[in-house]
Structure 1
Amino acid sequence: MTLNILDLDHSLTGQAPIARRLASGRATRIDLLDLGPKLRLWSTEKTWKRFAERLAQRPRPTDARPEILFVGSGDYHHLTPAFLADLKEPTSLIHFDNHPDWVRFAPKRHCGSWVNRALKMPAIKRIVTLGPCSDDLHNPQLRGGNLAALKRGQLQLFPWQHPPSKVWGRVGDGAGHQQRENHLHWRNLAELDWAAFLEQMISSLPTEAIWITLDKDVLASEDAATNWDQGGMRLTHLLQALRALAARKRIIGIDVCGEFATPAFSNAFKRWEAKSDQPPPERWSPEDLQRNAATNEALIDLFEELFP
Structure 2
Amino acid sequence: MPAVTVQDFTGVYSEQPFMQGLLESAATDKNIHWFDCTQIDGTDCYCDDEAQAILRQQIESVGNDSFGIHFFDNGNYHYMSMLWTDSVQEPFDLVVFDHHPDMQPPRFEGILSCGGWIKEVLGHNKFVQNVIVIGVADHLVEEIREDLTQVNSAEILNRVTFIRESEIASLSSHFSHLTSLSSSLYISIDKDALSTAEAATNWDQGSLTFEQLADTLQTLAQNRKILGIDVCGERARDMGFEDTATADALNNALNKKIYNMLMTLATRGDSAPSAE
TM range (shorter): 0.7 to 0.9
Give 2:241's aligned residue.
Answer: 282
- The match for 1:149 is 156
The one-letter amino acid of 2:121's match is A
C-alpha offsets along residues 191-211 of structure 1, whole Å, 9 cap, x if unaligned?
A: x2x33322x122221x21100
Question: Post-superposition shift, 1:142?
Answer: 4.8
Report the RMSD for the aligned CA atoms in angstroms.
2.1
Q: 1:53 aligns with which of 47, 57, 65?
A: 57
Deviation at 1:69, TM superposition (A): 0.4
- Of 43-52 and 78-87, more deviation after overlay is shown by 43-52
Query: 2:115: which partner in 1?
Result: 112
Q: In the superposition, relative to structure 1, how do residues 137 and 3 fare at CA in structure 2: closer, same or farther (>3 Å)?
A: same
Compared CA separation, residues 134 and 258, structure 1 to 2 (3 A): farther
Identity value in percent: 22
The answer to whether 1:255 aligns with 2:230 is yes
What whole-Å deviation, never above 9, does each CA across 1:31-54 have from its counterpart, x for those lacking one? Answer: 21111x520100222322232233
> What TM-score, normalized by structure 2, do the two folds share?
0.85
Gaps of 5+ in 2: 268-276
Q: Per-residue CA shift, 1:152-196, capped at 9, x if unaligned? A: 2x11111112xxxxxxxxxxxxxxxxxxxxxxxxxx232x2x333
Matched, 1:292 2:251: yes
- 2-side partners of 1:111 and 1:42: how far apart? 6
Residue 33 (structure 1) aligned with residue 17 (structure 2): no
Q: 5 Å matches for 1:97-246?
A: 97-107=98-108, 108-120=111-123, 121-133=125-137, 135-137=139-141, 139-144=143-148, 147-150=154-157, 152=158, 154-161=159-166, 188-190=167-169, 192=170, 194-198=171-175, 200-205=176-181, 207-246=182-221
Corresponding residue of 1:72 = 73
1:303 to 242, 257, 262: 262
SS in 2 for 1:196: helix
CA deviation string 1:39-95 (max 9, x = no partner): 0100222322232233322x2355x4x111000010001121110112111100000
Q: How far has the Cα of 1:248 moved from its partner?
A: 3.3
The number of residue pairs the alignment matches comes to 256
Q: Report the residue type matching 1:196 in the other structure.
A: S
Structure 1 Cα separation of the partners of residues 186 and 264 of structure 2: 18
Distance change in 2, residues 1:160/1:304 (3 Å): same
SS at match of 1:306: helix
Question: 1:250 and 1:88 mapped to 2: Cα distance?
Answer: 13
Distance 1:284 1:160 in 2: 27
Equivalents in 2 of 1:246, 1:113: separation in Å? 26
In structure 1, distance between residues paired with 2:233 and 2:144 = 23
Could you say what secondary structure the match of 1:210 adopts? strand
Q: Give me the whole-angstrom Cα distance separating, in 2, the residues matched to 1:105 and 1:22.
A: 35
Query: Residues 78-89 of structure 1 correspond to what in structure 2 (within 5 A)?
Result: 78-89=79-90
Deviations 1:104-135 (A, max 9, x none): 14344011000111112111000100001265
Aligned-residue offset at 1:18 = 2.1
For 2:139 and 2:43, the matched residues in 1 are separated by 24
- Highest CA radius of gyration, 1 or 2? 1
Residues 220-269 of structure 1: CA distance to partner in whole angstroms, max 9, x if unpaired?
00000000000011111001111111123211101111001214xxxxxx
Q: CA deviation at 1:284?
A: 5.1
* Secondary structure at 2:230 match in 1: strand
* One-letter identity of the residue aligned with 2:83: A
Greater shift after overlay, 215-224 or 296-305?
A: 296-305
- Which AA in structure 1 matches 2:54? R
| Distance across 2 between alignment mates of 1:139 and 1:115 | 15
